[in-house]
Amino acid sequence: MNYLESAKRQFRLYKQLGEKAMEQVSPDQLFFQPNEETNSIAIIVQHLWGNMMSRWTDFLTTDGEKEWRKRDAEFEPILNSKEELLSQWNAGWDCLFGALDSITNEQLDGIIYIRNEGHTVLEAINRQIAHYSYHVGQIVLLAKMFSNQDWNSLSIPRNKSAQYNAGKFGEEKGKRHFTDEWLKDDK
């Protein structure tokens, strides 16, 4: 598996984690802001959408911080329904995957800019993997807090590590991607 395929799989994993977390909360909880300084799940989605649209539109040819982006507005309540939230969520990810599908391995060493700071294409992709995983982690934490004892684990459930590891070490050694088992429902 090459770098681009691995990066796409990681992005798909974070998209799936965010979706599975959001499925476990009520529509009202998607918009609940614990306090003025804490973002709701909806606000996090707005920010991810704004970042994705800015970074991945004309990815190889224009600065990743587009003039039309209104970043500060991403942190104000704008979305009004779960349908709007999911539409924005999917539009952002569609933009990202469309851009990644247009890149070749030969372009990974090319330079792109984000706020006039040069990055190789590979560095820019890594930057976004880290950024999106950070925010998806926030979505998961909020959803887990809202769901409390009704939470369905998105990874190895609490007190199940030994069982999980026994299963893994019971398999033959082999080259696999760490997302294989988590994305099996997403193929």
What is the per-residue pLDDT for 187?
46
**Residue 107, CB half-sphere, CA atoms under 13 Å: how many?**
14
- pTM for this model (two decimals): 0.92
Binning pLDDT at 50, 70 and 90, where does residue 103 land? very high
CATH number given to 3-186:
1.20.120.450
Q: How many CB atoms lie within 10 A of CB 100?
A: 17
pLDDT per residue over 155-172, tens digit each? Answer: 888 899 999 889 889 888
What is the C-alpha radius of gyration for the chain, rounded to an integer number of angstroms? 18
Q: Which residue matches tokens 């009704």?
A: 150
Q: Which of 134, 139, 129 is nearest to 43 (CA)?
A: 139
Q: pLDDT tens digit string along 10-20?
A: 999 999 999 99
| Strand intervals (E) in the chain | 111-114, 117-120
